[in-house]
Amino acid sequence: MERESALPTFTTACRNCGAVLGGVFCAHCGQEHRHDRLRFRDWVRDVLDASANLESRILRTIIELTVRPGRMVAEYVAGRRVPFVSPPRYAIATCALWWFAVYLNDEAQTSTDWWVEYGQLVNLASVPFIALVIQLPFLGSRYNYVETLSLALYITGQQFLLRVGFAVAGLLGANALAVGLIDSAFFLVYTSWALWQFYAGRVRLRALRIFGAVLGILIFGTILNLALMRSAALLG
């Protein structure tokens, strides 16, 4: 009985799942098909391809969220997802960057205001509630809650990225009032702009609904901050 060779030979079936091949990549499992033997350069190429693909997705996501946030999220929701980092991953990654930047800031490390250092974790946890606040004025838009949550995560992630710049530049501790004003202005303008694009052609009275959504978020944020300050006072 002839022993089956472990070395790659020409075949029209995927070596991973056995499906019939119709191109370079298997349509069933996605594995790339190669006829030659495994070599070290294959590993190097895989690592470089994965790194380049991740970097291009991150860069494309940042640029698109900067120049046309609502339209990009609408495209992501509609199914164009491969070019972009997913909303949860983007928000978590930028939140981690902000926390790390604050940690490296000497003034932030010595601050007695614990919410300056950990407030973004609270903000990240509050995103599902912010998405609910956005969803209510836009009932009838045919976007479901998870799709609205995607928008809220991307908006939050972009604001985290701005705060990374504040921390790196040393603005966070140097002039808290100026930073707060810039941060609030960015939130109001950017969120309104993203909502305007995201719901374009989907609802009537779009400007009024956006005003209601932003006002609701501001009220929710105020209540949350007051609760945090009260908790800090009780714990302190």
DSSP assignment of 192-215, as one string?
HHHHHHHTTTT-SSHHHHHHHHHH
Q: What letter does residue 19 receive in the DSSP assignment?
A: P
Mean of the pLDDT values across residues 158-170?
81
Taking the C-alpha atoms of 80, 84, 87 and 89 in order, what is their torsion angle to the nearest 10 degrees? Answer: 140
Q: Which of the two residues, 148 and 169, has the higher pLDDT score?
A: 148
End-to-end CA distance of the chain: 79
Q: Which of the two residues, 100 and 137, has the higher pLDDT score?
A: 137
pTM: 0.80
Q: Which of the two residues, 67 and 100, has the higher pLDDT score?
A: 67
Structure confidence at residue 195 (pLDDT): 97
Q: d(Cα 109, Cα 102) in Å, to the nearest integer?
A: 7
Indicate the angle between helix axes 40-67 and 69-78, nearest 10 degrees. 130
Over pLDDT 90: what percentage of the chain? Answer: 42
pLDDT-derived band of residue 112, with 50, 70 and 90 as boundaries?
very low
Answer yes or no: is pLDDT of 42 > 90: no
User: How buried is 4 (Cβ within 10 angstroms: 0-12 exposed, 13-18 middle, 19+ buried)?
Assistant: exposed
What is the average pLDDT score of the chain? 82
What residues are paired with 20 via a beta bridge? Answer: 13
DSSP assignment of 127-142, as one string?
HHHHHHHHHTTTTTS-
CA 130 to chain centre: 15
Answer yes or no: is pLDDT of 114 > 70: no
Over pLDDT 70: what percentage of the chain? Answer: 80
Structure confidence at residue 118 (pLDDT): 65
Query: Where are the chain's structural domains?
Result: 1-38, 42-235
